Structure 1
Amino acid sequence: MRRVPPRTLLPRAAGAAALLMVLTGCGLFSGDDKAAGPVLSEPVGVTAQAGSATTVHVMWNRPVSTTDVTGYEVYRGTVRVKKLTAQQHMVDVTGLKAKSHYEFTVRARGKDGSLGPASRRVTVTTPAVVAADGSAPGRPGALRGEVDGARAVSLAWRKASDDRGVVSYDVYQGTTKIHSVGGTRTKALLTGLRPGTAYTFRVRARDAADNVSPPSDAVRLTTARGKDEGPGTAPEGFTATARRADGAYYLDLAWTAPETGGDVPAYQVYLDGRQATTVMWGESAPKDKATYSFYIGEQAGARHRVKLRGQLPDGTWGAFSPERTVVTGR
């Protein structure tokens, strides 16, 4: 592989303060750095959603590592606020202040008792408190859902009414809360489900005073059999164009992040059928439009195929975008 000077790698991302590149497909990292055994990595897919003026709902998924996990610790800043079992992947952090900014991270604990690295930091601001509000929101209406492949479903509902405003919507599988989205959203994509499995979902609305609505009507869905990812997890509006600059050609990519109900912290870019790079965002992944540019050589008339896929909130990889073909020098 041709080694490119750092100045020729031109990552660009709309709405992202820091963009980190992990070049995996071209062999830039040698096997000399392999660990002697299984290493506990950080939890993935971490999200934080204000549930009320004094609570935040934190969710995550298990690390992508081969070693056993025996528990999790949730941190607010540098202070540990929750210690949980390995089976728990979400928690409500209570006793917070209204109109306050918080940062959360999650760490996994291995079977030897040691803690793995901290997850990426997620930030959230609690809303203003609503005094003397004893009225719960009305139930969310018209809950409907669609199966999206073997491991995901999408839900949508009609917004609930509340005299002070809805802060969040909680999604329940049976009687267990499994997901939460902001009060301005009326849809969610649930990933990490089992193929060929029947599920029952309901949604409840929550206001700033922590009043919770009655549950919506239930929607029953059965995921498809097999291992395919549904198209709803793929990046949308994907485009690829070649441009010439400083005597070389670059590939400019643009897309819209899939609506997963959480951040899409990383994307894998495939060039000519092989993974070329993994693009990882730091503190803030783009919510909608994203762009990325990288060096592809100096030869005019070279034909390339490119596609990408995003990392879902559960840490798995979603469906690929449509594959685009570009020719340098045209």
Structure 2
Amino acid sequence: MRGVPVPAVPAPASLPRRWALLCGTLVLVTSCGWGAGGGDEGSGGLPGAPTGVTAEAGSATTVHVMWNAVDGAEAYEVYRGGTLEKEVPASDRMVDVTRLHPSTAYAFTVRARADGGLGPRSREVRASTPAAVADDSAPTRPGDVHGRVAGSRAVQLTWSAATDDRGVVSYDVHQGGTKVHSVGGGQTAAVVTGLRPGTRYAFTVRARDAADNVSAAGAVVRLTTPGADDGRATAPTGLRASSRHADGGYHIDLTWVPPRTDGEVTEYQIQLDGRPATSLVYGGDAPRERAEYSFYAGREAGVTHRVRVRARLSDGTWGGFSAEREVTTGEGG
């Protein structure tokens, strides 16, 4: 995936060559219009390619596919190889692909549809179904289920592992009577986003084994999202900023910890001195533990800048801003 960065201020002539090296993993775009599409707009008015696509086996015959929301999408199409498997409305960002073969590797892509046209395919993701087993016993129900609100649009659920004579392959999270999320059998936590402020929700968790036996639901968790959101629950944390001199000018190096969500965070907005400076979109696997970014800040030493970062969440909305940091060119580099 290729892109051309647009720095916040004019860069020296030697800079484009350095950016070309970065763009093997990132797509960097100008922030002139932060409204809808960010850096992920398609051409010709079509929606962009879905980001944050993941695929994980739910049983020996099913794979759970998830993706981030795309601005302007009216529906999504999920493909297995070149075969269209499912079409879902824009309100959905997940689907279970069923009737698969055990012990088989599959590749999936997702496309967004709008105004009768299809946007580009997402990057391909792969998942392998486990071996089929003769098993008539469902797993035990997940125990010790707890939850907490994480701002006005998300909740975090945790539970203790279920047991099964052949092993738990996945856990299904239900909102009321609707399945809204799935995680692998080795996980005992999930973050559900895309919720509404000031709304009461009821969640349950069920365990699933390779034979598609599903456990009874764990205890119901009832949570009410607050009517207002200070953004802290969805903001990047641990932001650090430093200055260095290279290529005849000063650069600002940033690192931060991505927010915890129910999908990959693939897009960030970098704000410089109170104004959007750059959009950062990951074209490959997005970092989950720590993200890094560097940009040109001019030739003059002793200039102090204020920097902060926010993430586009998997439901297509912007999360809260990180804490703001000050950095002065020529200090620390």
TM normalised by structure 1 equals 0.85
Taking a change above 3 Å as real, the CA distance of residues 182 and 252 of structure 1, as seen in their structure-2 partners, is: same
Match of 2:38 in 1: none
Match of 1:24 in 2: 31
1:57 aligns with 2:67: no
Match of 2:133 in 1: 131
Taking a change above 3 Å as real, the CA distance of residues 290 and 89 of structure 1, as seen in their structure-2 partners, is: closer
Distance 1:25 1:11 in 2: 24
Q: Is the 8 A contact 2:46 2:114 kept in 1?
A: no
Match for 2:197: what amino acid? P
| Among candidates 148, 151, 154, match of residue 152 of structure 1 | 154
Distance 1:35 1:135 in 2: 47
Distance 2:91 2:310 in 1: 28
Listed as ranges, the matches of 1:261-276 within 5 Å are 261-276=262-277
Deviation at 1:303, TM superposition (A): 0.5
Deviation at 1:217, TM superposition (A): 0.2
Deviation at 1:90, TM superposition (A): 2.8
Q: Is the 8 A contact 2:231 2:321 kept in 1?
A: no
**CA deviation profile, 1:87-140 (whole Å, cap 9, x unmatched):** 5443210122334433322233335xx232135225132242142122222111
Match for 1:120: what amino acid? S
Deviation at 1:265, TM superposition (A): 1.1
Distance 1:292 1:164 in 2: 44
Distance 1:116 1:142 in 2: 44
Match of 1:6 in 2: 16
Listed as ranges, the matches of 1:1-330 within 5 Å are 1-4=9-12, 5-9=15-19, 18-25=25-32, 39-43=46-50, 46-60=53-67, 62-65=69-72, 69=74, 71-86=75-90, 88-111=92-115, 114-226=116-228, 228=229, 230-330=231-331
SS where residue 64 of structure 2 aligns? strand
Would you say how many aligned residue pairs link Structure 1 and Structure 2?
315
Match for 2:65: what amino acid? V
Distance 2:49 2:85 in 1: 18
Q: Is the 8 A contact 1:137 1:160 kept in 2?
A: yes
Match of 1:30 in 2: none
TM normalised by structure 2 equals 0.85
Cα RMSD over matched residues?
Answer: 2.8
Match of 1:31 in 2: none
SS where residue 232 of structure 1 aligns? helix
Deviation at 1:155, TM superposition (A): 1.2
Taking a change above 3 Å as real, the CA distance of residues 276 and 181 of structure 1, as seen in their structure-2 partners, is: same
Deviation at 1:58, TM superposition (A): 2.0
Taking a change above 3 Å as real, the CA distance of residues 313 and 199 of structure 1, as seen in their structure-2 partners, is: same
Identity %: 51
